[in-house]
Structure 1
Amino acid sequence: MRIFTAGISTETNTFAPWPTGLRGFEEGGLFRGNASRAGEGENNLVARLYKELACADGHDFVEGVFTTAQPSGPTLQSVWEGLRDEIVDSVRAGGSFDVILLLLHGAMVATGCDDCEADLVARLRKVCGPDTVIGVELDPHCHLSQALVDASDVVILMKEYPHIDCIERARELYALCTGKALGQIDPVSALFDCRMIGFYPTTSEPMAGLLRQLREAEHQPGVLSVSFVHGFPWGDTADTGSKMLVVADGDKARARRVAEELGRLIYAQREVLLPRMPGIEDALDMAAATAGRVVLADTADNAGGGAPSDNVSLLRAMLAHGVRDAALGAIWDPMSAQACAEAGVGARFALRLGGKCGEASGSPLDVMATVRAVREQHDQHGLGSARQPMGLSVWLECDGIDVVVNSIRTQVFAPDAFTGLGIELNDKRLIVVKSSHHFHALFAPIADRIISVATPGAIQMNFAGIDYRKRHDLNFFPREHDPLA
């Protein structure tokens, strides 16, 4: 068989104050046919896996464009069309393919297209015809449209949040798509709308238990795959919301029945699943009363959801409380990072930090900062074994608090976001990370307590109050108490 693979990924916060341009994809990694041979990012690892699997099975393997951009506002239409057409043209020029495997996000919006993933797959289908098997792996924080399901042969989502199972799901997609191409299975899909908008970490109950039930359902006769669409609340599209996707072997009625059964299981827990977080003052009091090391999550200023990551409200409160033995990161402030790098290690001076990008950034903070370390190309451990670039980064000491300031916008995934600059965490009582939940995977082992904080910023958890304009159907929980009644 002949197998083609490619991928374009970004998570679009349609309320973010600036668009995503080509530079965003170049910063995240833009590979043209060589992703499997270069880099350790998620795209590289998936491309490498597909190459290894295809070669081991004796198949012809061709890879096209792989690229990703940090979450931000809508992608410029010209950028989207350029990347999309590169993939489509590669398939057209490459001759016939038996299988196409795509690593996409599912919540990518361009300035002229609200469903980029369906747009890409529909164009590929037109080029390759009905006999080519097209498989798509998505992030669970996606807007899964019926159009994408209909244009694809198989769609599956990562199950975990934090998304630690990307490679596992890619292996699953490969098996399902090659099985379809060989005539061993006949995947058919059904999508159930849970009529919910929410936030569903899988590291704690009740989602941990619900996820176990989804996995158990995959062992039912005739069920090939089960995926829960968490949805991305901060992307305003017609398909925004939580859904259940089931792939069955040739039995559409079974797929529909299982999708509804599992969707209603999650719907029954909707009140419990609503996030309830303390504000900054309460969170700092809770941390002060806790023996041991506490990790606070600055959830609303998370670059991983499209926020600027330069809101310094939590740092301001920590300084006002006289907090010591603490570390905070990462504040996206390229201007400050450059000024500190030029000043050099040991320099101490007045610095205006953060608050630069717009209303969600809040006001800047004036501090006396001492430059403790500078790293031109800092990075951190990302999801899986991938590395996440942070760019020019500095370690500042501000009245007893160690602060990481970086120039490539990203959420904090791992302790080496701090330790890679020389910040010792063993002696810290308080560690603050700008992230909503991905940090759990690597910070939980060093934390005695984790507190998610309702901070000011661009990613608010008041889902009933989000000002949707394109999602015209507002009959969803929590805006309505029982929308499935």
Structure 2
Amino acid sequence: MRILFAGFQHETNTFAPDLADDAAFAHGGGFPGLCRGEEVVRALVPTANIPGAGFLAAAREAGAEVVPILWCAACPSGHVARETYERIAGEIVNGIRARLPADAIYLDLHGAMVAEHVEDGEGELLSRIRAITDVPVIVSLDLHANVTARMVELADALVAFRTYPHVDMAETGRRAFALLRRRLADGPFVKAMSRIPYMIPICWQATEEDPARGLYQSLARIEAAHGLPSLSWAMGFPAADFPECGPVVWGYGAEAEAAVAALAAEIRAAEAQFEGPLYAPDAAVAAALSLNARGQRPVVIADAQDNPGAGGSSDTMGLARALVAAGAPDAAVGVIHDPAAVRAAQAAGLGGTVTLALGGKTGDGPLQAAFTVEALSDGKLRTYGPYYGERDMDLGASACLRLGGVRLLVASQKAQLADREMFRYLGVEPTDTDILVVKSAIHFRADFRPIAAEILTATAPGAMMMRATDWAWHHLPEGLRLMPGGPAYSPAKETA
């Protein structure tokens, strides 16, 4: 079995200001940077929680020949730059053309990519591949994919993660390999899909809690009951202003239509259950301090709207200001993206004092103060938690700055704080800290829930709104509910 393999991942927040350019994909945003050929195999180590890594491991075990072309990812942001999309997509298509014949193609994609000139990045890539070959194409997708009709039509099969935090990324790659073998053995699948008529805020999508937990249990039950090779539900990425944004259920097999209809009915019935508490920055800090006073620590506050894993700039200072204003005696905030502040800290040296305007370059303004330089680092660390898996990460030159009882972890590169080592590399021990502020929405839970006395979700400034009603939409389908329970999108209302 000869399989061609490529990966091109980006989750696009069309409301975020910065583009994903060549440099963004070269770095990787917490994941391996762009790699080609055998570099892909070396980057996607078996211990990494990455779909491509799981696929490669399963293929090796089966004795298949996998021919890697390239693999890349970038930190979620605004649109993928036109030139960058064309360069990477072109290299994938030309690489496939040059390496044919093959038995199949495996693509490690995200499913929510929007380029400056292409609103359905994955569908466009599949279309270009289909123009050169009709061999089976199997695709792994993120749980936050905005799955389009074009993607379902052009791929032989799409298979999505089933957990958020995404602790099953590598496992999804293994499932993609099993699906590929099934496709080669049995021939083309019967397909079915169904759109869900409401968007789900990412802060209420955690699969460790209901209703998502129960619905994914139903997914597995329905898949087995109908004997399907695969059934998937992507909750969607509710920050992409294009006509096919939103949750989708799809499946393959003789009973695909019945299985998809059964799962979609359960998801529609659960709409009102997708809700939870959200705290303004001052209220979140007050609640955390109250819990601390009762002996509960650490309390973790999710700075969900400035989550770089959803397009946030990772530099807004709303929660940092609230902690300082409240006189929090023992708190840490991470990771703030501010290369200039790191350079200033390096110049001042360990133990030195540096006066600067920290963060706030893209939204709520910086935090102006005199900080003590408590730690410096080259930014190289190794993660061990369930989300990133065991692998190396490079956050670039970094510094820990102290202001009163608040320590602020500052890095030269952006990555979602979803591993305890992203505190430890700058000398902060998460288990010994009263309040931890993480620039993440859900992924941090995989590594922090076991140590957290309580988790609070805050709505400090940022590019990823927890309420889709806070954005001005222009391209959604009429009637799609922006939040569970409404209101429904109306083009006439938006243009009035």
Residue-pair matches, total = 474
Q: Which amino acid aligns with 1:432?
A: V
Residues 8, 66 of structure 1: 8 Å contact kept: yes
How far apart, CA to CA, are the structure 2 residues paired with 1:5 and 1:16? Answer: 30
Per the alignment, do residues 380 and 433 of structure 1 end up closer, same or farther by CA in structure 2, a change over 3 Å counting? farther
Matches for 1:398-409 after TM superposition, within 5 Å = 398-409=403-414
Residues 8, 104 of structure 1: 8 Å contact kept: yes
Q: Which amino acid aligns with 1:5?
A: F
How far apart, CA to CA, are the structure 1 residues paired with 2:435 and 2:365? Answer: 23
Q: CA deviation at 1:86?
A: 0.7
How far apart, CA to CA, are the structure 1 residues paired with 2:57 and 2:334? Answer: 37
Q: Which amino acid aligns with 1:277?
A: L
Matched, 1:194 2:199: no
Indicate the residue corresponding to 2:264 in structure 1: 263
Q: CA deviation at 1:160?
A: 0.4
SS at match of 2:265: helix
| 1:298 counterpart (287, 290, 303) | 303
Residues 6, 101 of structure 1: 8 Å contact kept: yes
Residues 49, 169 of structure 2: 8 Å contact kept: no
How far apart, CA to CA, are the structure 2 residues paired with 1:276 and 1:63? Answer: 45
Q: Which amino acid aligns with 1:172?
A: R
Matched, 1:220 2:225: yes
Residues 303, 441 of structure 2: 8 Å contact kept: yes
Matches for 1:63-212 after TM superposition, within 5 Å = 63-129=68-134, 132-183=135-186, 186-199=188-201, 200-212=205-217
SS at match of 2:131: helix
Deviations 1:39-95 (A, max 9, x none): 659989544444443344333321111000001111111110110111111111112
Moved more, 341-350 or 302-311: 341-350
Per the alignment, do residues 22 and 345 of structure 1 end up closer, same or farther by CA in structure 2, a change over 3 Å counting? same
Residues 281, 319 of structure 2: 8 Å contact kept: yes
Residues 105, 138 of structure 1: 8 Å contact kept: yes
How far apart, CA to CA, are the structure 1 residues paired with 2:79 and 2:455? Answer: 32
Indicate the residue corresponding to 1:442 in structure 2: 447
How far apart, CA to CA, are the structure 1 residues paired with 2:284 and 2:444? Answer: 18
Gaps of 5+ in 2: 489-496
SS at match of 2:26: helix
How far apart, CA to CA, are the structure 2 residues paired with 1:213 and 1:25? Answer: 36
Gaps of 5+ in 1: none
Deviations 1:352-402 (A, max 9, x none): 11111x3xx201111221111111133452523344432111111111111
Residues 424, 430 of structure 2: 8 Å contact kept: yes
Per the alignment, do residues 43 and 153 of structure 1 end up closer, same or farther by CA in structure 2, a change over 3 Å counting? farther
Per the alignment, do residues 240 and 387 of structure 1 end up closer, same or farther by CA in structure 2, a change over 3 Å counting? farther
Indicate the residue corresponding to 1:279 in structure 2: 280
How far apart, CA to CA, are the structure 2 residues paired with 1:104 and 1:295? Answer: 31
Matched, 1:243 2:262: no
Per the alignment, do residues 380 and 411 of structure 1 end up closer, same or farther by CA in structure 2, a change over 3 Å counting? farther
Residues 43, 67 of structure 1: 8 Å contact kept: no
How far apart, CA to CA, are the structure 1 residues paired with 2:258 and 2:224? Answer: 15
SS at match of 1:127: coil
Per the alignment, do residues 414 and 270 of structure 1 end up closer, same or farther by CA in structure 2, a change over 3 Å counting? same
Indicate the residue corresponding to 2:318 in structure 1: 313
TM, length-normalised to structure 1:
0.93
How far apart, CA to CA, are the structure 2 residues paired with 1:44 and 1:433? Answer: 20
Indicate the residue corresponding to 1:32 in structure 2: 36
Q: Which amino acid aligns with 1:21?
A: D
SS at match of 2:171: helix
Deviations 1:259-299 (A, max 9, x none): 12211212212122034312122222221221311111111
Q: CA deviation at 1:350?
A: 1.5
Residues 391, 406 of structure 1: 8 Å contact kept: yes
How far apart, CA to CA, are the structure 2 residues paired with 1:240 and 1:274? Answer: 20
Per the alignment, do residues 480 and 449 of structure 1 end up closer, same or farther by CA in structure 2, a change over 3 Å counting? closer
Residues 195, 243 of structure 1: 8 Å contact kept: no
SS at match of 1:63: strand
Deviations 1:91-150 (A, max 9, x none): 111121111111001111111101111111111122112xx1100001111110010010
How far apart, CA to CA, are the structure 2 residues paired with 1:107 and 1:275? Answer: 25
Matched, 1:338 2:343: yes
Per the alignment, do residues 44 and 453 of structure 1 end up closer, same or farther by CA in structure 2, a change over 3 Å counting? closer
Residues 104, 136 of structure 1: 8 Å contact kept: yes
How far apart, CA to CA, are the structure 2 residues paired with 1:74 and 1:41? Answer: 31
Q: Which amino acid aligns with 1:32?
A: R
Matched, 1:375 2:380: no
Indicate the residue corresponding to 2:355 in structure 1: 350
How far apart, CA to CA, are the structure 2 residues paired with 1:217 and 1:472? Answer: 29
Q: Which amino acid aligns with 1:398?
A: L
SS at match of 1:128: coil
Residues 198, 482 of structure 2: 8 Å contact kept: yes
Q: Which amino acid aligns with 1:23?
A: A
Q: Which amino acid aligns with 2:244?
A: D
Deviations 1:190-209 (A, max 9, x none): 11111111131112122112
